[in-house]
Amino acid sequence: MKDRTKPIALLINQMSASTIWIVFLGGFLLLCLSSCCIKASDINGSRGTEHLFRHSHTIEISSLLPVDSCKPSSRGNKHGASASLEVVHRYGPCSKLSSHKPSHTEMLLQDQARVDSIQSRVKYESDRDRGPKRAVNLPAKSGSTIGSASFIVTVGFGKPIQPQSLIFDTGSDLTWIQCEPCEFCYEQQGPIFDPSKSTSYSDVACGSECDELASANGNAPVCRRSATSTNNLCYYYILYGDYSYSVGVFAKDELTLTRRDAVRNFPFGCGVDNEGLFGGSGGLLGLGMGKLSFVSQTADRYGKRFSYCLPSNPSSTGYLTFGRDGRTRTPKKYVRLLKNSEDQSFYFVMIEAIKVGRRRLSISPSVFREADTIIDSGTVVTRLPPAAYAALREAVERYLSRYPKAAPLSILDTCFDFNGHKRVKVPKVRLYFLGGAKVTLRFSGTFYVANASQVCLAFAGNQMPSDLAIVGSFQQTTFDVSYDVAGRKLGFAAGGCD
């Protein structure tokens, strides 16, 4: 048998010391790189190599296609939470609501109507606080447009329980549902709530509780005697930005979240005249900061804490949880909730900077200081000050210049045609908030997909620099977004749901 060690030894002897060192160093670096990849895989699971592309997303085009069947999120159940509800998209296959699904253009126009309504409402409050230096017209729209709000939870009203599917909205305070006998009601999926069948129902008489309605919906309540009561009852009315409305009696009843969580004497609107784009839901669950919101009314029980995860796909599910909850293992990044005298219902935050890929956008700090910013579950697409949006649009267009441009989609003016590509590479967008939090958006929180040939940047610019900026639901999807109202902070944790 030939001795194979001699040629190897001879080769080593003929190699220079520097050559040996290069070979050794190359092998060592290769080993280290392999080790790093293994460690990243251990931490991040299937996204193990994502650290190699920390400034971009690589997306399979096939993953953008819609799914017709319901696939509940594997991370969507809040085990051990105080009270947790399943969240579904009202037009998706997981929803029990059989209503007309609007086109992309219809939904985006409804979204713009909501934004116009919110901005008008905040501007009115701001002008009113400045005093009577100039005449101001009260906006006819006392509530935000609901047509674009997309997420539904199911709760129970009364004893025995009558289930109701409600739109939940962080931009509204008053909770209301349709009630029998209903004079003028829109078509609702499932039975309308019947107060006569509830042993725990009661009307609210005129007085201090009734007066709180003015702060909840911007309209003073009306007191009058009903045909079935000798007392003067409290009547509410709320008109939304798309001219949807609800009118009825201010009442109290037991509200059941889960089998273990029921809230007695919960104040709500019992609507007997309702009209609008409510998508077959029974009404609205108000999660704003005002006194009549569910958050404030249950402060003793849940400590003004709640969290939610909005699914990125209509075929998946998320959650809405009340009370302290430590389910998410991913560390939360906290944003400061700011006090704002112009409107006590909204959750105000401040964006300080935006990054696209590796590049921090050149936006003057004064741009974000001039415009207040809120985070809102009912607005779909994030609205930015004009200068900030222009910088974001330019950076994204430069990054995606290799792909053909597509026609604008309603209010979305920056669209691309990915048709014919198996996969695409897009930049990651990061939002930097006051308080030090950096939130890296997923692809689903950055781009609005109409189809493979029309994929649009899911941001829009405001008309005026001082117009209210809004962080919409699209940018919040898949995050565990936790509100600590008493502690005045807002937390983001990645991987809350799919």
- The CA distance from 229 to 123, in Å, is 40
Domain end, chosen from 322, 353, 368, is at 322
The contacts of residue 487 (CB under 8 Å, 6+ apart) are none
Flag whether 393 is in a domain: yes
Is the same domain home to 360 and 299?
A: no
**Residues 208 and 92 both lie in one domain:** yes
The pLDDT score that the predictor gives to residue 345 is 87
Residues 282 and 402 in one domain: no
Residues 441 and 475 in one domain: yes
Structure tokens at 128: 């009113």
Do 312 and 477 meet the contact criterion of CB atoms below 8 Å apart? yes
Asked if pLDDT for residue 341 goes beyond 70, the answer is: no
Q: Quick one: 298 and 212 in the same domain? A: yes
Mean pLDDT of the chain: 82
Distances (CA, A) of 419 to 76, 105, 230, 258, 403: 32, 20, 68, 45, 9
Q: Lowest-confidence range among 256-270, 318-332, 358-372? A: 318-332
416 near 400, Cβ under 8 Å?
yes
In this predicted structure, the answer to whether residue 331 has a pLDDT above a threshold of 80 is: no
Among candidate residues 111, 116, 169, 498, the one labeled active-site is: 169
Q: Is 413 a catalytic residue?
A: no
Q: pLDDT tier at 104 (50, 70, 90 boundaries)?
A: very high
Among candidate residues 116, 173, 242, 376, the one labeled active-site is 376
How many domains, the chain? 2
Other CB atoms within a 10 A radius of the CB of residue 127 amount to: 16
Q: Indicate whether 338 and 470 sit together in one domain.
A: yes
Which residues fall within 8 angstroms of residue 139, CB to CB, at 6 or more apart? 117, 120, 121, 124
- Does 45 map to a domain? no
d(CA 289, CA 492): 19
Does residue 301 lie within any of the structural domains? Answer: yes
Q: Looking at the structure, do residues 371 and 482 belong to the same domain, yes or no?
A: yes
Last residue of a domain, one of 322, 353, 376: 322
From 7-21, 175-189, 261-275, the region with the lowest mean pLDDT: 7-21
Residues 407-460: tens digit of each pLDDT: 999 999 999 999 999 999 999 999 999 988 899 999 999 999 999 999 999 999
The reply to whether 295 and 403 lie within a common domain is: no
- Residue at token pair 């080769």: 11
Q: Which has more pLDDT, 384 or 43?
A: 384
Q: What average pLDDT score do residues 102-111 get? A: 90
Quote the percentage of the chain above a pLDDT of 70: 79
Q: What's the CATH code of the domain at 97? A: 2.40.70.10
Q: Examine residue 20 and state whether it is found in any structural domain, yes or no.
A: no
For the segment 26-58, what is each residue's pLDDT rounded down to a tens digit? Answer: 444 443 434 333 232 222 223 333 333 688 899
Query: 283 and 161, same structural domain?
Result: yes
Q: What is the dihedral of CA 398, 403, 405, 409, to 10 degrees?
A: -100
In a domain? residue 69: no
Does residue 228 share a domain with residue 94?
yes
DSSP output for 53-112: GTTEEEEEGGGGS---S----TT---TT-SEEEEEEETTSTT-----PPPPHHHHHHHHH
Residue 189 lies in a domain: yes
Task: Give the number of residues written for the chain.
Answer: 498
Selection from 208, 165, 112, 78 nearest residue 467 by Cα: 112
Range of the domain at 422: 333-493
116 in active site: no
65 is a domain residue: no
Of 64-78, 90-104, 304-318, the range with the highest mean pLDDT is: 304-318
Whether residue 181 is preceded by a cis peptide bond, meaning omega within 30 degrees of 0, is yes
Q: Please identify, among 322, 341, 361, the residue that sits at the C-terminal boundary of a domain.
A: 322
- Are residues 312 and 391 located together in one domain of the fold? no
One domain, residues 395 and 261: no
Cα–chain center distance at 18:
59
Pairing assessment for the beta strands 429-433 and 351-356 based on DSSP bridges? antiparallel
Does any domain span residue 498? no
